[in-house]
C-alpha cells in the first residue's frame, strides 16, 4: 500500500476507542540500515508520546534491503528487527485508525550530533531505554549468529578496542554540515595511544577504506582484525566485499547487505572500548552497546 504523500496523515479514521496504528515509512530508498534504525527510533518515541502503536513498513516502500520482486510481499525490517509491539503491517492497515508517518525523520532522534555520554540520565541513556524495553530488538537468532563471528576470532580474555573510521572516500566529499573526519594518520596515532593506555590486546577495525586497513596493519600487525576478515571467514565464501566496496554483498543479495551493516554495529558494540569518528554508525554503536569501559570520539567540527 504505497502512498506518495510524504506528509504525516490519516488514511483511516474510525472508532476512537480502537487502537491507532502509526505506520513508520521512509521515502528515501537509499537510506542505510544504521540510519533507518535511528530514524525509526525517533518515530517510535514520537508514536509512544501520542499513544499510538508504531509499526515499521519496509514492505510497501522501496529500500536497499528489499529485492524489487519482493516489494509489497515481504517486510525487510523484519529480516533484522522485531516489530515494536509485534504487530505486522497487514494487521495495522486492517485497523480502524491508521496514520502514515512523514516520509523522513521526526525530531528528536539520535543523530551523529547526539551527546554520547554514558552517564545516568543523559540523552544516550534515554534512547537506550527504548531498546531495553523491547521496542527496537534485533532478531535473536540473527544476533546470536553475529556474535558467533566474534567468538571465532577473539577469545573471552581479549581486551578489544573497536575502531570506526569511514576513510578517505568519505572525507573527500566534504558534505556541508557533516562531521569532519580525522586524518587517518592522526586517527591511527590516537588509536595506538589509547590501545596502550587502556591495556588492549586486539583491535576490531571497521572502515570502508583499504588504505586505513593497511595503515593499521602496518602498525598493529596481527593484533588488528578488520571486519571483512571476520565476515568473509564466517560465511566461508570468496564473494565478500572489499573494504571499499559499496555494492550489495555477492550478487544483489539484499538481505546479506543489511546483515553486513548490522554485524558491524553489533560487533563494535560488544568491544571493551570504542574509538571512532563522528558519524551515524558511531551513534548506532553507542545505542546498541550496554556500556563501554572507555570511549574516545574525534570532534573536529563540521564542513
Contact predicate 208/169, CB 8 Å: yes
Q: What is the pLDDT of residues 152-183, one digit of tens each?
A: 889 999 999 999 998 665 556 676 777 788 99
Rounded to 5°, the CA angle 153-156-159 comes to 85
Q: What is the pLDDT of residue 300?
A: 80
Domain ranges of the chain: 9-100, 139-298
Pair 296, 67: CB distance under 8 Å? no
Buried b (16+ CB within 10 A) or exposed e, 208-246: bbbebbebbbebbeebbbbbbbbbeebbeeeebbebeee
pLDDT greater than 50 at residue 242:
no
Contact call for residues 65 and 255 (beta carbons, < 8 A):
yes
Hey, how many other C-beta atoms are within 10 angstroms of the C-beta on 202? Answer: 20
Among 14-23, 183-192, 236-245, 290-299, the range scoring the smallest mean pLDDT is: 236-245
In this structure, are residues 37 and 67 in contact, taking their beta carbons and an 8 Å threshold?
no
Quote the pLDDT of residue 248: 40
Q: Give pTM, 2 decimals.
A: 0.89
pLDDT value at position 201?
98
In this prediction, residues 258-266 reach a mean pLDDT of 94
pLDDT digits (tens, 9 = 90+) for 38-88: 999 999 999 999 999 999 999 999 999 999 999 999 999 999 999 999 999
Report d(CA 289, CA 124) in Å as an integer: 10
Q: Which pLDDT belongs to residue 237?
A: 45
Q: What is the mean pLDDT of residues 14-35?
A: 96
∠ CA(228), CA(256), CA(258), 5° rounding?
A: 90
- Give the pLDDT mean for 123-141: 94
Q: Which has more confidence, 85 or 208?
A: 85
Residue with more model confidence, 7 or 113: 7
Q: What is the pLDDT of residue 233?
A: 54
139-298, CATH topology level: Rossmann fold (3.40.50)
Amino acid at each position: 500500500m504505497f502512498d506518495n504523500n510524504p506528509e504525516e496523515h490519516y488514511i483511516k479514521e474510525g472508532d476512537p476507542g480502537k487502537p491507532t496504528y502509526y505506520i513508520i515509512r521512509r521515502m528515501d530508498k537509499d537510506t542505510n540500515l544504521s540510519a533507518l534504525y535511528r530514524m525509526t527510533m525517533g518515530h517510535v518515541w514520537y508514536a509512544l508520546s501520542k499513544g499510538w502503536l508504531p509499526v515499521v513498513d519496509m514492505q510497501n516502500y522501496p529500500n536497499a534491503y528489499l529485492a524489487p520482486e519482493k516489494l509489497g510481499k515481504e517486510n525487510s525490517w523484519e529480516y533484522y528487527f522485531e516489530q515494536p509491539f509485534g504487530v505486522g503491517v497487514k494487521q495495522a492497515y486492517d485497523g480502524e485508525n491508521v496514520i502514515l508517518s512523514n516520509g523522513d525523520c521526526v525530531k528528536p532522534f539520535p543523530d551523529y550530533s547526539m551527546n554520547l555520554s554514558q552517564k545516568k540520565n543523559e540523552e544516550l541513556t534515554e534512547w537506550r531505554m527504548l531498546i531495553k524495553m523491547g521496542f527496537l530488538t534485533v532478531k535473536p537468532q540473527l544476533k546470536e549468529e553475529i556474535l558467533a563471528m566474534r567468538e571465532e576470532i577473539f577469545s573471552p580474555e581479549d581486551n578489544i578496542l573497536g575502531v570506526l573510521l569511514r576513510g578517505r572516500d568519505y572525507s573527500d566529499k566534504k558534505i556541508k554540515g557533516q562531521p569532519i573526519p580525522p586524518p587517518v594518520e592522526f586517527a591511527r596515532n590516537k588509536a595506538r595511544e589509547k590501545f596502550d593506555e587502556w591495556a588492549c590486546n586486539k583491535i576490531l577495525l571497521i572502515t570502508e577504506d583499504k588504505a586505513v586497513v593497511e595503515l593499521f596493519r602496518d602498525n598493529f600487525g596481527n593484533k588488528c582484525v578488520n571486519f571483512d576478515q571476520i565476515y568473509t571467514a564466517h560465511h566461508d565464501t570468496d564473494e565478500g566485499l572489499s573494504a571499499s566496496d559499496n555494492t550489495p554483498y555477492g550478487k544483489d543479495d539484499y538481505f546479506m547487505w543489511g546483515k553486513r551493516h548490522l554485524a558491524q554495529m553489533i560487533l563494535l558494540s560488544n568491544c571493551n572500548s570504542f574509538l571512532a569518528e563522528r558519524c551515524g554508525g558511531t551513534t548506532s554503536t553507542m545505542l546498541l552497546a550496554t556500556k563501554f569501559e572507555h570511549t574516545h570520539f574525534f570532534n573536529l567540527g563540521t564542513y
